[in-house]
């Protein structure tokens, strides 16, 4: 009897946890929610930079070339010598850097399994081995004596690697508060209060006429909020995201009926591919809120997901109502999604929005990966 009396309290607790909206949550409640989210999440351990990530590679290239430019300026005394140095220094540094990055990219899966300190030593060792190989090869081809230039080159290479590792570690630590903040924003921005109220009203209207359908709607709503409360640092799969999106649209279809039409083009979707959790649902919620609800007639939301090479594309579009019927949005969901894509994939992920031929379109491109990883 006690378990039966306590059972109805569980959905109320589940719904009460997420804040209703960014504008309505008091500052003290926001602070408590942030601390609670921070306490629930395990502390992320230090990780080596991913040398297969485009953003990491771009930052390394810019840092090394900037250091090379500074070294050329310091070493030369005239503009004529500076021009020669700007040609000589990159010719010496670029091959070493490119080969080192290729070796580190190939060894990345092995390095990820090591502790940070051991992995950092391995990175320094690989870099030193490449530098020594190039100097010995140059000496064998009749260049400068390797024993004269090798110690200086090794010292500069090791210092450069240490500085880069410290820089990436500091950047990771600087971004770590953004993970908690992004999760809090997700709790606030994902499910609008009007959607929850409308869904509950739709369930109330179905309880007597179609109790079984009302039960299914409540199950879908519970699954949606369960996904909302999950750890937002872990990557989900496209198959899970599409299933969750279908559940959300099934809830909206109870209220909107024939006005909501959805076209799915997911035959070429790699279901095992990974992406941040709850990416599709906020975009579909925006599509319904801005494209379907204001219109008097039916409207079609189109979802297309496919793989092209090493990338997975998501294209979602909805009709744009007439100017007088448009709802002004605050772009919270779109900005939140863009931020989380950058946290997980850095420069390898892209997100574009546009209006084209009477439809609003969101285009997301993420790198194909079937391995779970955390931001």
The pLDDT of residue 266 is: 92
The structure tokens listed for 131 are: 């530098």
Find residue 157's DSSP bridge partners.
Answer: none
- How many residues appear in the chain? 375
The pLDDT of residue 122 is: 92
The pLDDT of residue 74 is: 76
Element (H, E) at 305: strand 299-308
Q: Which fold is adopted by the domain 190-194+220-367?
A: Heat Shock Protein 90 (3.30.565)
CB 289 within 8 A of CB 300: no
**Measured CA angle at 215 (ends 213, 221), to 5 deg:** 105
Instruction: Identify the DSSP state of 48.
Output: -
The pLDDT of residue 169 is: 85
Strand, coil or helix: 327: coil
CB 345 within 8 A of CB 287: no
The pLDDT of residue 373 is: 54
Q: CA separation (Å) from 326 to 89, 131, 292, 322, 329?
A: 58, 61, 10, 6, 9
**First vs last Cα of the chain: how many Å apart?**
44
Domain ranges of the chain: 54-179, 190-194+220-367
Rounded average pLDDT per 10-residue block, the chain, 375 residues: 40 38 37 43 63 85 85 72 71 85 89 87 91 82 69 87 89 68 54 66 77 82 73 78 88 85 92 87 86 86 93 93 62 77 84 88 91 56
CB 155 within 8 A of CB 145: no
pTM above 0.75, yes or no: no
The pLDDT of residue 295 is: 82
How far apart, in whole angstroms, are the C-alpha atoms of residue 309 and residue 369? 11
The pLDDT of residue 28 is: 41
């Amino acid at each position: 009897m006690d378990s039966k009396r306590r059972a109805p309290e569980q959905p109320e607790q589940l719904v009460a946890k997420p804040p209703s909206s960014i504008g309505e949550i008091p500052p003290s409640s926001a602070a408590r929610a942030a601390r609670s989210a921070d306490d629930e999440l395990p502390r992320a351990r230090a990780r080596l930079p991913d040398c297969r990530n485009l953003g990491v590679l771009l930052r390394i290239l810019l840092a090394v070339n900037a250091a090379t430019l500074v070294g050329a300026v310091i070493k030369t005394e005239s503009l004529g010598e500076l021009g020669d140095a700007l040609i000589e220094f990159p010719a010496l540094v670029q091959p070493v850097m490119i080969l080192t990055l290729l070796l580190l990219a190939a060894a990345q899966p092995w390095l990820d399994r090591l502790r940070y300190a051991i992995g950092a030593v391995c990175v320094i060792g690989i870099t030193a081995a490449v530098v020594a190989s190039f100097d010995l090869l140059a000496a064998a081809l009749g260049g400068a004596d390797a024993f004269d230039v090798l110690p200086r080159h090794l010292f500069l290479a090791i210092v450069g690697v240490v500085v880069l590792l410290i820089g990436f570690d500091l950047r990771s630590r600087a971004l770590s508060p953004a993970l908690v903040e992004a999760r809090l924003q997700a709790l606030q921005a994902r499910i609008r209060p009007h959607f929850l109220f409308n869904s509950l009203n739709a369930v109330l209207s179905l309880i007597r006429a179609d109790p079984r359908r009302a039960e299914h709607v409540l199950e879908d709503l519970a699954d949606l909020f369960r996904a909302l409360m999950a750890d937002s640092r872990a990557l989900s799969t496209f198959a899970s995201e599409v299933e969750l999106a279908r559940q959300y649209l099934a809830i909206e279809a109870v209220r909107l009926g024939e006005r909501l039409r959805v076209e799915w083009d997911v035959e070429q979707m790699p279901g095992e591919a990974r992406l941040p959790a709850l990416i599709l649902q906020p975009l579909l919620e925006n599509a319904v809120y801005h494209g379907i609800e204001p219109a008097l007639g039916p409207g079609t939301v189109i979802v297309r997901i496919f793989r092209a090479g090493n990338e997975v594309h998501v294209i979602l579009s909805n009709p744009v109502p007439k100017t007088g019927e448009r709802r002004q949005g605050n772009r919270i969901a779109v900005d939140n999604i863009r931020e989380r894509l950058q946290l997980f994939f850095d420069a390898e992920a892209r997100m574009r929005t546009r209006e084209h031929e009477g439809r609003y379109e969101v285009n997301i491109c993420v790198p194909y990966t079937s391995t779970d990883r955390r931001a």
